[in-house]
Amino acid sequence: MAYAAAAGTSYQPVTAPPGVLALQRALVWLAGATGAIVFIEPSPYELVTLTACVVFFGTGVRMRLVFMPLLFALILLNIGYSIGAIPFLDRPEVMNWIFTSWYMAITVIFFAMVISEDTEARLDMLRRGLIVGAMIASISGVAGYFHLVPGGYDLLTLYDRARGTFKDPNVLGAFLILPALFALQSVVSDRFGKAFRNAIAFCIMALAVLLAFSRAAWGGLVITAAFMLALMVLTSRSPKERSRIIVMALIAVILAAALLAVLLSFDSIAEMFKQRASFDQSYDEGRFGRFGRHILGAQMALEMPFGIGPLQFHTYFPEDTHNSYLNAFMSGGWISGVCYPALVFVSVIMGFRYVFVRVPWQRSYLAMFSAFLGTVGESFIIDTDHWRHFWMMLGTMWGMYAAAERYRANSAPPVSAGTSAAS
């Protein structure tokens, strides 16, 4: 893969030697691909991101002033978690949770710094890596569900739901949304050959999302895809491009509906689909159901400034919080409870600001922002605070914010002395 053209038209010349540049981009690709393999610990993603941190810091990466608020919020968030964990430091699972939280914070800063430079090429490598990882996870999950792997059903499924290379079907479905959006973008905007290949990839990922039987993932894929396509229409550069997106999107909807109808003709799939699609779930209802716990937990949060500590919510209630914002209050008290939603929603507000900024990586930005926004919404009904891909998206978003500002500054026409004097 050659990025000479990208580098040649970049707003900031890439000064690293070609070999170093290739290594950096390869590590970004590898981080995206290994993000889908997390059923073993330490996962390949941890090993790759740790290696990438060493390589990037050794070969040159910048900590920009614009990332200081992000760094400050992440430090405060994890200080709150660490304070809340003090009474439980003798418990290995709590210590592991704290270390994981700090590590996720490091990956946010890492991706922000990395994506803020050589942005177009590194984003493309991340996109490619995510799609490869998603295909591995999707094919594994589908193959396991249909007993295509001898002895692999128990490994690749959980409770008759596809989980692929993840521990939890819900996380598989959530992870697949971003690469599925990347594939869908190609389907509606690229030439036939590339669009056809990505259409196949999208169908496989969508099938895996369906077989994960995660209501949040189903809704997330549909809503984020519709949101992203709407943004693509609004930001299209010509009526012809706009018409193509709309027509191809309609065709995709028709084909997806046909595929769903075929799959629901299988009794086992139809029965599980009916069961999972129901809004009348026992664990959602009642005083101690999902939403009842949210109300009771919020009342506790107001009375406990230091929270109850990480992984302690289930000692008070039948299940975990299933709400990342409430979990921040419960795990880290008021410090984390304020910092977490502030960090997330400030990032969302900033994200809307850059939707219409014309940058070479605008298409990738729209997919990333749509998936990130979907995860932010999903965080109200599920615990997403240790999802690796969520923190990767957060860091990548901040990296794109910084890159967009520099791109705009360098693209603005220079103000001549005569113009300045006249004004």
Instruction: Name the helix (H) or strand (E) containing 284.
Output: none
Helix axes 324-353, 388-411, angle to 10 degrees: 20
Lowest-pLDDT range, 38-47, 154-163, 186-195? 38-47
**In the Cβ-directed half-sphere of 102, how many Cα atoms lie within 13 Å?**
10
CA-to-CA distance for 113 and 110, rounded, in angstroms?
Answer: 5
CB atoms within 10 A of CB 123: 23
The stretch 290-303 carries a mean pLDDT of 82
CA-to-CA distance for 158 and 145, rounded, in angstroms?
Answer: 9
Residue 62, both tokens: 């910048």
Q: What share of the chain is helix, strand, coil (3-state, %, to 5)?
A: 75, 0, 25
What would the pLDDT profile of 308-338 be if each residue is shown by its tens digit?
A: 999 998 888 877 888 999 999 999 999 999 9
Residue at token pair 């949060």: 301
Query: Would the pLDDT of 297 be above 50?
Result: yes
Query: Would the pLDDT of 5 be above 60?
Result: no
Give the per-residue pLDDT at 1.
42
When comparing pLDDT for 288 and 371, which is higher?
Answer: 371
Give the per-residue pLDDT at 283.
58
When comparing pLDDT for 189 and 42, which is higher?
Answer: 189
Residue at token pair 């919080």: 321
What would the pLDDT profile of 48-59 be if each residue is shown by its tens digit?
A: 999 999 999 998
**Virtual torsion, Cα 370, 179, 57, 77, nearest 10 deg:** 50
Percent of the chain residues past pLDDT 90, beyond the cut:
73
Instruction: Using DSSP, state whether 361 is helix, strand or coil.
Output: coil
Compute the residue count for the chain.
423
Q: Are 319 and 283 in contact (CB under 8 A)?
A: yes
Mean pLDDT of the chain: 90
Give the per-residue pLDDT at 274.
84
Of 261-275, 278-292, 359-373, give the range with the top mean pLDDT: 359-373
Give the per-residue pLDDT at 357.
94
Is the full-model pTM beyond 0.95? Answer: no
**Cα separation values, 254 from 14, 118, 260, 265, Å:** 44, 38, 10, 17
At 420, the pLDDT band (50, 70, 90 cuts) reads: very low
What would the pLDDT profile of 18-75 be if each residue is shown by its tens digit?
A: 889 999 999 999 999 999 998 887 889 999 999 999 999 998 888 999 999 999 999 9
Query: Would the pLDDT of 282 be above 60?
Result: no
Query: Would the pLDDT of 416 be above 60?
Result: no
DSSP conformation class of 343: H
Query: Which residues, listed in sequence order, are joined to residue 158 by a DSSP beta bridge?
Result: 161
CB atoms within 10 A of CB 202: 26
What would the pLDDT profile of 133-153 be if each residue is shown by its tens digit?
A: 999 999 999 999 999 999 889
CA-to-CA distance for 321 and 383, rounded, in angstroms?
Answer: 7
CA-to-CA distance for 398 and 384, rounded, in angstroms?
Answer: 19
The stretch 117-146 carries a mean pLDDT of 97
Lowest-pLDDT range, 277-281, 326-330, 395-399, 412-416? 412-416
The stretch 370-380 carries a mean pLDDT of 97
Lowest-pLDDT range, 12-21, 87-96, 311-320? 12-21
Query: Would the pLDDT of 250 be above 90?
Result: yes
Query: Would the pLDDT of 275 be above 90?
Result: no
Burial 60-88 (b: 16+ CB within 10 A, else e): ebeebeebeebeebbebbbebbbbbbeeb
Give the per-residue pLDDT at 286.
54
Query: Which residues, listed in sequence order, are joined to residue 127 by a DSSP beta bridge?
Result: none
